[in-house]
Amino acid sequence: MGRGDPGSRQSLIGLGDRVATLAEGARAQAKPPKRTYVIFQARFARDLFCAVPTSLPIPDFLTGAAWRFRGTLGKRGFMPPGFKAASARKAANRDGFYLFSPPCTQD
């Protein structure tokens, strides 16, 4: 390929545009839609939380005295430490809820 060959330059420019378009499409697919979750905290273990997507029913075990409502998690909602969006999505798709706790800290 010569530097002065307009056909070569044109094909490289076209290839660059196609690669940029494919990369942009992959980035758009990598960002899953944001979910809003209802967050509960266990009364028997202060460091145990349960998140349920608002699109799913609340499991029966969360409606008893052992759990208390803490708020909603969304763009501006309650955000307990230890919540991982990817893990929450997988667990909620599989089980209908996501149990989690904050990371352990050493003094």
Q: What are 104's two structure tokens? A: 């352990």
Q: Show pLDDT as tens, one digit a residue, over the chain (107 residues).
A: 555 555 555 544 555 555 455 445 444 443 444 789 999 999 999 899 999 999 999 999 999 999 999 988 876 667 788 999 899 999 999 999 999 998 876 65
Q: Which of 56, 93, 92, 52 is nearest to 70 (CA)?
A: 52
Does the global pTM surpass 0.75? Answer: no
Please state, in angstroms and as integers, the Cα–Cα distance from residue 8 to each residue in 2, 4, 14, 15, 20, following that order: 8, 8, 10, 11, 19
Specify burial of residue 74 (Cβ count, 10 A radius: 0-12, 13-18, 19+).
middle
The amino acid at residue 46 is R
